[in-house]
Amino acid sequence: MLYRFKSQATADVVMLEANARQLLDIMGKSSAPKGILTAGEIPGALSALEAALQNDTTQNKHNHDSFAAENHAEDAERQHVGLHQRAKPLMDMLKRSAADGKDVVWGV
């Protein structure tokens, strides 16, 4: 399943379900198939994401991601997509939406 995040301030951001659920959990939102992040909630969500990225970066050596496997091949490390890479498009959407006072929705 895919999650499609929508805002009137930006283009859509599409993510795989597992990645979207992880980011929604970090932001303190339900990972239900449908939801909304109001313009007023966005600053708190951004702070939570930034804190998670900072924590993940300081504690993990594998592409800045606690979900990376130990002792894997170098090729796998180069192909691994870290938390900071997964979060960046959504964080950009949130920043632009907050600047325009627009909500972010998914599943609608």
Q: How far is residue 89's CA from residue 40's CA, in Å, rounded to a whole number?
A: 19
Please provide the distance, in angstroms rounded to a whole number, between the alpha carbons at the two ends of the chain.
14
Check residues 75 and 107 and name the one with the higher pLDDT. 107
Q: What is the mean pLDDT of residues 5-22?
A: 95
Check residues 21 and 67 and name the one with the higher pLDDT. 21
Structure confidence by residue, pLDDT tens digits, 2-12: 999 999 999 99
Structure confidence by residue, pLDDT tens digits, 38-97: 999 999 999 999 999 988 766 555 555 555 555 555 555 555 678 888 999 999 999 999
Model-wide pTM > 0.85: no
State residue 1's pLDDT score.
Answer: 87
State residue 62's pLDDT score.
Answer: 52
Residue 9 · residue 67 · CB < 8 Å = no
- Is the alpha carbon torsion for 90, 95, 100, 103 positive or negative? positive
Q: What is the mean pLDDT of residues 13-35?
A: 94
